[in-house]
Structure formats: C-alpha cells, structure tokens
Amino acid sequence: MNSPILTHSATHTGREVPEDTVDSLLSKMTLEEKIGQLQQVDASADPFPDDLIDGVRTGRIGSVINLAQTDACNRIQRVAVEESRLGIPLLMGRDVIHGFRTIFPIPLGQAAAWNPDLVREAARIAAVEARSQGVHWTFAPMIDISRDPRWGRIAESFGEDPYLTGLLGSAMVEGFQTDDLSGHGAILACAKHFVGYGASESGRDYSATNIPANELRNIYLEPFRRVVEAGAATLMTSFSDIDGVPATANGALLNGVLRSDWAFDGLVVSDWNAINELIVHGLCEDGRSAAAEAALAGVDMEMAGDAYARHLAGLIEDGVLSISLIDSMVARVLRLKQQLGLFERPYTDAAGFDPLVSDRALKVAYESAVESLVLLKNAGAVLPLREAQLGSIAVIGPLADAPHEQMGTWVFDGQKSDSVTPLQALRQQCSGKIQVNYAPGLETSRSRTHDLFGAAETAVLKSDVALVFLGEESILSGEAHSRADIRLPGAQSELLARIKALGKPVVTVVLAGRPLVISENLPNTDALLYAWHPGTMGGPAITAVLFGKEAPRGKLPVTFPKSVGQIPIYYNHKNTGRPPNASEMILIDDIEVGALQTSLGMSAFYLDDGFEPLFPFGFGLSYGHCELEDLELSQPEIGQGEQLKIRVSARNTGGRTGFETVQLYIRDITGSLTRPVKELKAFKRLSLEPGRCEVVEFELGAADLSFYRRDGSFGPEPGRFCLWVSTSSEGLQAEFSLGA
C-alpha cells in the first residue's frame, strides 16, 4: 500500500542502549542462538518440562509467555543467565489487559470514562503489580477500532472512534512503560492488533477483514499512528487478512507504513502461532514459506509457534533471507532487554514492591469503575435512591453477587476473592438502615428456567424498589467468544418483565462485555445503568452511584444498536448520496397492502428499525442537567497556519451536581474523498454545581483537519466545515472555512 512519509519519528522510553553492547553480543552469537532470541514459547506448565529448560540453557529461547509468579520467573531466568553460554536474560510476557491482580473495568468500560489520566494510572498500577511477579511485557493496549458488538473482543477495545482510541491507547502505553523502561515497575506495552482485526466480517473472531484503503488509512491505522508517537515499544500483528494478505505477512503495512512511514524502531511480534496459520489462510504452502513471508514482511518474534525455529537457518543457507535481516531482528530484542535493565537486574525481588491489591490500587479501581458507569435512562428521577425514603430494597438478578463475572474477560491473575460484589456493597451501605431482600431469580445469566422467579417476585413485593442486576457472564465476551444474538441471554428479559409488572420502581444495572441489544428491556425499567464488567471494586462503585454518593459521568465509547440487524452502526459513517431523513422515512407498518414498488423519496434507512441507534456514541446522563448555549467561533475562516477558537457556555440547570463531557465534532463537507458525517476532535470533562455556568474553549488548526487524501498524501484540504459542540454526537452546530 502506498502511504505518505510522516514528519514525526517514534521515540521510545528507557535508557539509550549503547550499540556496541548489542553489536558485541551479536558478534559472539551462533546462528542458533540468534534464532533463539526470536522465539517466544509457552511456559505455563510448572514444573517446567525438560525441553523448555533445555531450550533456555542452549540459547534457543529468548522469551516466554504465560508465566507470572516471582519464584518461577526467577527459576527459569536463572537458567538463562547462569547456565546458558552468553547469559542473555529471558523476556517474560503476560497478558495484563485491564489489571494484574487488582482488576479494573474492561477496556471498553475504561473508555466510557473518557479519562486518559485514569487509564494511565490504572495501567501504572497494573504494571507495578505485574513487574513485582516477574513480568516484563504485556500484550496491551488493544486499539482495534470496533464497530461490531457481536465481536467478542470489543470488550478489550476502546470503542469505535479513532481519536478516542488513540488518546486512551497512548495513555495506557505511558502508564505501562513510564518514561524510563529501566525504572521501578515499568513493563513493555504491545499495541495490537496491527491492523484491522476489529473489522472481522459479521463480528466472527478470526474472520477475514475487507477494509478499503481510505478506511484503513483514516480509521483503522490512526490509533496505531498515535500510539507509535507515544512511544509504544512493541506491536503485535493481527490474525486476520487484509484484502487477501494476512497481516503477519503484510510487508506493505509492517515495513512500509510502520517502519518506513512512521519510523517505528521497536519490536514486532506475531500473535499466537499466527505465522504457521499463514498456511491455513492459504497464503503459504508450508512452514518454510510462512517463516520467509513473515520475516521478510517485518515480524521480529514468533509467539508460540515453531516456524522460525525450524526454518530460518535453512532460509539463510539458501539465500532467501540475509543474515543482516536476522541480525536486525535480534538486535531489536536485545535492545529491549537492555532498556528494561535485565542484563544488570535479571531477577525480581517482590519485597521491593508494594503488596498486591494495595489500598491505592483499590482506590483507583473504585474511581475507574465509578467513571465507567453510563446512565442511559432515569425516568422520573428514580435515581439517585433516597435513603430516608426507603425501608427495604430488593436485589434481584444473576449478576448481583457474581464476583468472578464482574471481573470480565482476559483475567489471568485476578482473584474473585478480591471482588466486592453489588450485593455485598449494598448490604454494607444499607446495614442497620434499610432491609435488603435478595433473590437471584436465575442461577446464571444463561439460565432459561423460571423456577426462581417466584422467590424474586416475593422479594420485590415486600420492597420499596427493585434493583435488578442483569447482563452476561465474563466468558460470553472476549477472544473466540462472539455472539450472533446479543440480546440478554437466558430468561433475563422475562425476569425483568415479571419484576416490572409488580408495579414497584425498577432500576436495572447491566454488567456486560459489549453493548447489548436492550430495546425490548427499556420499557420494563425506570432507570438503566450500564456497568460493563467493572472489575474488583464494581460493587462499591455501583452502590455509590445508585445512592448518589457519586454522580454518573460515563459516556458511551460505542454506538448501541436497536437491533442486531442495524449492525454495523457507528456515528462516523458516510453521508451517502441519499442520506436518511426522519421526515421522509416510511416504516413497515405504514406501507399500504398491495402498494406498488417505488424508490422515489427514499433514503438509507430500514423499514423496520429506521436509521437512528438506540443510544448514540458519546451519550450518557448525569444527575445534573447540562445545557450548552452561546456557541461562538473566533472567525468564519482560518488560514493554514491559524487556529480557530471555539467557545461555548455549559450550564447546570438541574438541582444536583452534575458531570459532563463536552465534545467537539467536525465534518469536512467536500473533499477529494468522501468524509464521515462527523469526527470527534476534542473533548473536555466538567463538574458543575447546580446553577453554575462554565465557559468551555477549544482550538482547531489545519493539522486537526488533516486526513489521507485521494492521492495518498496526508494533510488538510481547503473548504467548508461543519462543527458541533455537544454532550453526545448530536448538538449545537456552526460552520467555518479553511483557506488555501
């Protein structure tokens, strides 16, 4: 693929590595030892098998994965450092996705906070906890743009927007790595999956991705560009193919865009056994050709496969690969080990770290969970609950007391014994004041039997309000856990309908790894709080918001569809030649029987579900009510070197303190390529006391209006622009122009 040379260059954290150190090692290494540095093997079995120990001792393994316990890490590291010929330490990898022992909300939940500082702080805590147990390298952040909630790995993403994803992904990188990789508790970040994995067809994991060049450059690559600028030390390739070429063999992307255009000088690792899977894709005939394709494309290290180990030496001997290429790959591995300080300090002393699940870690986990909660409905201001007006509450639902499930997907080292569930937190909150009547109603989120409904109804009838905790278990999202039907599983919808029919106020809390289709459930609840999978401190966070000790402040990082049939649905879509128009829309029930076929006056909508989502990107209520007014632009036109200043007043017209995220969107009305109807460009988070008004200011320049243009170059185009300032992806509108 042709792409422009960008003007920036990547900067990486850690000490500068003397090249003579790396060169000296390379000069002493045998070819077998060099190839060994490019191998990452699974070390989850303990006691370690003989072939693993032998591989480390003979220098045929450079990195291990799935090992995260101080004694075990030191034990295998000692073999590498004290028993191998050159004493090169191992690089220990582990999936630390949204926490290590202290579990934070799933990344999609963290994205709902729209708070990069909090993402950075959570990653810092996760890194310190992981490093204390011998981990050097995590495979996060996942910055795949995710427009299909059927895809299980949307839980690991930051949602559908390139700007927000790039900002939060960069914050996570900074939290993991700090500004010095040799410093206390720093670990390597690994931005994944390069690139386009989130566009898997039909939301089926590992499926093909068909992404036009314009979308690839301007949407899917953009977060990676930002994260490379932030100094991500490593990247991981995607499993999927892109226009027929699997990412693990895609030299145009790896050597072209990543290394040449963006000047990335870090390490590229394959996903699990992805090099051998080039054969299954149908790109390669055998492991030899797969190893050649991956190495030539720019993959430095093979994760959990044997293609490099079996074939690189023969490929060099036959002249297919050069020894200089192998030396460059190995040098990247050695530099990272040097930057981490592993040559000087290969072993981990857990005593030098704070204990796991520290008070500070729990505080940040609580704050992260609070800020991730999104209030989607609050009819009659049923929330916050008023303690003085309640004698009893019913706590209903299979996820009210499910400590494992609230942690979410991709949790290897978290323990459910650390989790504080909503039921536990509510009982503590209500102790001595309010009676708590608990009945799960269903054994699990997938249960279909109604056997426990009666007990749940009894609990509600003797209570003043029903708090119903529904959603999906953690195993129903994540890698290889896509769902075609993303409504509430099991008999949960029936349970909610039965509870609502009893006539008591109903508050529903949804714990899930994705946006669920909840259209049928909204009429059966007075308030709805979306909690994602909120992690270790989910229960106290939810309870604090329900009782008004904290105000909800989350905003959706992804669009909620009305039905599965609307998918993919996302805010930054194209306008089309016949954009949808509510005034022209005809719904299926309005069509006359026997009507003649016509397309006159029609536009891009569904007869049965219209075109609008259930909830738009950026939406989220609070207990205050923020109104935006007096939108002002500093000038109607700016030049290429000028900044447009935008001012708007935000006023809390409600009776309680409210939190608001004021969002700035633009649209390039006419371009050499058709542009999205809206693009997020900035946002600011506010806390407003009742009656308070605050002026919010933004600035936009030509750089903020840039995109990859029709000729492949990167930059802005003169012309007219629409601008919105809003509390979701809809709001106050103005226009301005960019001059030539």
Which residues are the active-site residues? Answer: 271
Asked if 552 and 606 touch (Cβ cutoff 8 Å), the reply is no
Provide the angle, in degrees to the nearest 10, between the axes of the packed helices 359-372 and 538-546.
50
- Scanning 133-202, the segments in alpha helix (DSSP H) are 162-177
Report the SS3 class of residue 418.
helix
Residues 19, 329: Cα–Cα separation, whole Å: 14
CA distance 626 to 726: 10
What are the Cα distances from residue 518, in Å, to 94, 566, 613, 730?
35, 13, 11, 21
SS3 201: helix
| Alpha-carbon gap, residue 614 to 566, rounded angstroms | 10
d(CA 228, CA 559): 27
Burial string for 391-420 (b: 16+ CB within 10 Å, else e) reads eebbbbbbbbbbbbbbbbbbbebbbeebbb
Return the half-sphere exposure (C-beta side, CA atoms, 13 A cut-off) of residue 384: 21
Beta bridge partners of 530: 374, 510
Q: Calculate the CA 93 to chain-centre distance.
A: 19
User: What does R_g of the chain's alpha carbons equal in angstroms?
Assistant: 27
Mode of pairing for the β-strands spanning 658-668 and 679-688: antiparallel
- Cβ distance 686 to 661 under 8 Å? yes
Q: Tell me the three state secondary structure of residue 658.
A: strand
Q: Which residues pair with 467 in a beta bridge?
A: 395, 507
Dihedral sign of CA atoms 224, 228, 231, 236 in order:
positive
